[in-house]
Amino acid sequence: MERRRAVVTGMGVVSPLGCALEPFWSRLTGGRSGIRPIERFDASTFASRIAGEVVEFDPEGIISPKDRRRMDPFCHYGIVAARRAVEDAGLDFGAEDTDRVGVLVGSGIGGLQILFQQTKVFYDRGASRFSPFMIPQMITNMLSGLIAIEYGLGGPNFSVVSACATATHSLGEALRMIQHGEADLMLAGGAEAPICELGVGGFCAMRALSTRNDDPAGASRPFDAGRDGFVIAEGAAVLVLEDLEHARRRGARIYAELAGYGRTCDAFHMTAPDETGRGAARGMRLAMEDAGLGPDGIDHINAHGTSTALNDACETKAIKIALGESDARRVMVSSNKSMLGHLLGAAGAVESVACVLTLVHGVVPPTINYETPDPACDLDVVPNTAREARVRACLNNSLGFGGHNATLCFRAF
């Protein structure tokens, strides 16, 4: 059977830079930071007291107050992002075979806030006071289930959990389902809401977070020699992936093509990347091969770019291995995390939205806070200012704890 092509026909985003496509894109390309002091709880005793909190979120009219009480915030974000994506795609599920429409929206951590709240309930009030909704609020697959329930979608439905590669794996696996004829439409992406005492405290204990608390907007500085850790963030993004012929039949607007997907494992360490970069490089090569492209066909890489010492240096090595020295130096490599912070399991979806908009508008977002070059990160990181450029195809990298590597290849349509 001839492999089908998958295109992006709708997108929805909830992020520290906004909860609609236009403000998200204008702020991202404007080099604006969404990192601020944490307001959700008293973080004064934490080593890291800054985060990319979602501040413009309004679920009114999408999720009823009663239903909101029965969900963890990661589901709130994901459901709103899904609604925006469906609206953006102009979908009428009444005209679709809903058994051919699936959902694959993952979360790296899931219902962390409800877990923390219910643990406090147990210690303060006893076992009889647990909420009967605690388990369905916590489990990561619930978001995909809730989206399907909202629209009556009976197609493939589950969730991927691969730490910071979750959303990228979700989009890639959704691509495979369309390529192989298992679905005509997929809602795919990721959602995360880790900003609570438990989430911030856990990453602080790992010494993974930036402690540049006196300069929140300047704290996330991927590829800069002064980087000191990532900034935790929250949000969601959902993309509508659609079989090309199906999209054409219904007259859908097509943003771009999701043309390739690669996934590998470092098989090296629980949290540290393989310093050789070989696993991540192989993922990029697989994505390019899947898209039928060579390194000379790639103009931009949306890097994982976490602002940690190991990740940024290892990813630089991986890009050089995957593309070769010459193309690696030619390609524009930027990190959205310099402005958004790190959305963990949702990062790859939000960054995929950025990739698609880069292809549509011909503008590559910058890596802000780039002040001091690092010899170990010696690529064109689009420092501090967005760049107008023709972008034919771009890669989106996500590298998760456990050695999970995932790369998507988006191509201009």
Active site residues: 164, 304, 342
Structure tokens at 33: 């930071």
Structure tokens at 29: 């390309």
SS3 content of the chain, % helix, strand, coil (to 5): 40, 20, 40
Give the three-state DSSP class for 147.
helix
Matching residue, tokens 């698609």: 356
Give the largest CA-CA distance in the chain.
Answer: 64
Residue 306: partners with Cβ closer than 8 Å, 6 or more residues away: 164, 222, 230, 312, 335, 337, 342
Distance CA 168, CA 188 (A): 9
Given a contact cutoff of 8 angstroms between Cβ atoms, the answer to whether 192 and 346 are in contact is yes
Angle between helices 309-323 and 278-291 (to 10 degrees): 50
Given a contact cutoff of 8 angstroms between Cβ atoms, the answer to whether 371 and 250 are in contact is no
Distance CA 49, CA 68 (A): 27
DSSP secondary structure letter of residue 99: G
Other C-beta atoms closer than 10 Å to the C-beta of 44 total 9
**Contacts of range 132-139, beta carbons closer than 8 Å, 24 or more positions apart:** 133/70, 136/70, 137/70, 137/71, 137/72, 137/75, 137/111, 138/72, 138/110, 138/111, 138/114, 139/110, 139/111
Other C-beta atoms closer than 10 Å to the C-beta of 119 total 13
